[in-house]
Amino acid sequence: MSIAEFSVNRPVTTIMIIVSVVTLGMISYTRLPLMFLPDMSFPSLNVSVPYPSSSPEEVERLITRPLEDAFGTLSNMKSMESNSSDDNARVRIEFETGTDMNMAAMEVRDRIDQVRGELPADVERIRIRRWNPNDMPIYNFSVAWSGDPAEFYNIVTKVIQPRIQRVDGVANVEISGMIDKQLLVHVDSEKLQSHNLDLFNLSQTLTQNNVTMTAGTVTEGGKKYSVRSVNEYRAAEEVANLPIPGTTLSLRDVAEVTFDYPEDNSFQRLNGVDAVTIRVYKTSTANIVDVAQRTQLVLDELQTQPQFADLETRVFFDQSQSIRDRLSDLRNTGLLGGMLAVIVLFLFLRNVRSTLIISLAIPISIICTFTFMYLLRQGAGSTVSINLISLMGLMLAVGMLVDAAVVVLESIYRHRQEGNLPARIAAVVGTREVTMAIIAATATTLCVFMPLVFLGGGSRFMLFMKDFVVTFCIVMVAAVFIALTLIPLVSSRLFNRPLGKPSAFFARMSGLYTSVLAWNLKHRFVTVVSFAAILYGSYWLYQNIETEFQPMAPTRDIAIAADLPSSYNIEDVKAVFTDVETLLLDRKEDFHIESISSYGSLRRANIRIVLTPPEERQESATQLQTRITSALPEIAGVQWRPGRMRRYGGGQSGVDVELKGDNMAVLSNIAEDIRNRMEVIPGLKDVDTSLERGDEEIQVQVDRAVAQTYGISPRQAARTVQAALSSRARGKFKADDREVDILLQLEEADRASMQKLQNMTFERAEGGMIPVGNLASFTKQKGPDAIERKDRESQVEVGGNTTGPGTRAINTQVTEMMESMELPPGYSWSMGRNWNMMRESQGEFLFAIMLSVVLIYLIMAAISESFIQPFTILLSVLCGLVGAFIVFYLSGTTLNTNSYLGVIVLSGLAVNNAIVLIDHVNHLRREGMTRTEALLLGGRHRLRPILMTSLTTIFGLLPMVAPLFFPEFFGPVEDRGANQWGPVSLALVGGLTTSGILTLILLPTVYTIFEDLSNWVTSSVKRAWA
pLDDT digits (tens, 9 = 90+) for 101-142: 889 999 999 999 999 888 887 787 899 988 776 678 888 888
Cα separations in angstroms, 622 against 580, 643, 801: 19, 10, 12
Instruction: Tell me the residue ranges of DSSP E strands in 808-852.
Output: 828-831
Rounded CA gap, 804 and 552, in Å? 12
pLDDT for 208 beyond 50:
yes
> Please, where are the H alpha helices in 553-712?
570-586, 621-631, 664-679, 704-709
* Furthest C-alpha separation in the chain: 120
Q: Helix axis angle, 504-522 relative to 978-1001, nearest 10°?
A: 70
- Backbone conformation region of residue 498, classed left if phi is above 0, alpha if psi is from -120 to 50, else beta: beta
Which amino acid does the sequence have at 251? L
List, as one string, the DSSP characters of 857-873: HHHHHHHHT-SSHHHHH
Q: Tell me, rounded to whole angstroms, the distance of Cα 499 from its chain centroid.
A: 54
Q: What share of the chain has pLDDT > 70, as a percent?
A: 90
Per-residue model confidence (pLDDT) at position 651: 41
Nearest CA-CA partner of 624 in 605, 608, 615, 611 = 611
Rounded CA gap, 174 and 279, in Å? 5
> Are residues 599 and 176 in contact, defined by beta-carbon separation less than 8 angstroms?
no
Rounded CA gap, 163 and 143, in Å? 15
Rounded CA gap, 867 and 69, in Å? 57
List, as one string, the DSSP characters of 720-741: HHHHHH---EEEEEEETTEEEE
Which amino acid does the sequence have at 517? L
> Are residues 65 and 789 in contact, defined by beta-carbon separation less than 8 angstroms?
no
Residues 6 or more apart in contact with residue 939 via CB below 8 angstroms: 513, 514, 517, 917, 1000, 1004
Which amino acid does the sequence have at 366? I
Residues 6 or more apart in contact with residue 224 via CB below 8 angstroms: 217, 218
pLDDT for 457 beyond 50:
no
Buried b (16+ CB within 10 A) or exposed e, 864-882: bebebbbbbbbbbbbbbbb
The residue ranking higher by pLDDT, 839 or 1012, is 1012
Cα separations in angstroms, 694 against 672, 691, 985: 14, 6, 45
Q: What tens digit of pLDDT does each residue of 748-763 get?
A: 776 656 777 777 777 7
Q: Tell me, rounded to whole angstroms, the distance of Cα 472 from its chain centroid.
A: 21
Per-residue model confidence (pLDDT) at position 207: 82
Per-residue model confidence (pLDDT) at position 12: 92
Output the average pLDDT for the chain: 82
pLDDT for 682 beyond 50:
yes
Per-residue model confidence (pLDDT) at position 387: 84
Per-residue model confidence (pLDDT) at position 466: 80
The residue ranking higher by pLDDT, 732 or 237, is 237
Q: What tens digit of pLDDT does each residue of 416-445 get?
A: 877 678 888 988 998 998 898 888 888 888
Place 647 in a pLDDT band, splitting at 50, 70 and 90: very low
Residues 6 or more apart in contact with residue 802 via CB below 8 angstroms: 652, 653, 654, 655, 683, 684, 685, 810
The CA R_g of the chain, rounded to the nearest whole Å, is 36
Most confident of 7-21, 241-255, 849-863: 7-21
Per-residue model confidence (pLDDT) at position 734: 74
The residue ranking higher by pLDDT, 213 or 360, is 360
Q: Tell me, rounded to whole angstroms, the distance of Cα 498 from its chain centroid.
A: 57
Cα separations in angstroms, 708 against 674, 716, 766, 767: 44, 11, 12, 14
pTM (two decimals):
0.76
* Averaged pLDDT for residues 921-945: 89
Write the DSSP symbol of residue 227: E
> What structural domains and CATH numbers belong to the chain?
1-31+351-497 (1.20.1640.10), 44-131 (3.30.70.1430), 198-253+696-782 (3.30.2090.10), 515-544+832-1016 (1.20.1640.10), 554-648 (3.30.70.1430)
Write the DSSP symbol of residue 591: T
Q: What share of the chain has pLDDT > 90, as a percent?
A: 16
CA 602-604-608 angle, to 5 degrees, is 125
Provide φ and ψ at 518, rounded to 5°.
Answer: -65, -40
Rounded CA gap, 1 and 838, in Å? 52
Nearest CA-CA partner of 178 in 708, 748, 599 = 599
Per-residue model confidence (pLDDT) at position 22: 93
Per-residue model confidence (pLDDT) at position 930: 92
Place 572 in a pLDDT band, splitting at 50, 70 and 90: confident
Which amino acid does the sequence have at 908? G
Q: What tens digit of pLDDT does each residue of 337-386 get?
A: 888 888 888 887 777 877 888 888 888 999 999 999 999 988 887 888 88
Place 724 in a pLDDT band, splitting at 50, 70 and 90: low
Rounded CA gap, 203 and 182, in Å? 16
Segment 712-718 long-range contacts (CB within 8 Å, at least 24 positions apart) = 712/762, 712/764, 712/765, 712/770, 712/775, 716/200, 716/762, 717/762, 717/772, 717/775, 717/776
- The residues that bridge with 385 in the sheet, in sequence order, are none
pLDDT for 1018 beyond 60:
yes
> Are residues 341 and 358 in contact, defined by beta-carbon separation less than 8 angstroms?
no
Per-residue model confidence (pLDDT) at position 783: 64
pLDDT for 98 beyond 70:
yes
Rounded CA gap, 732 and 742, in Å? 6
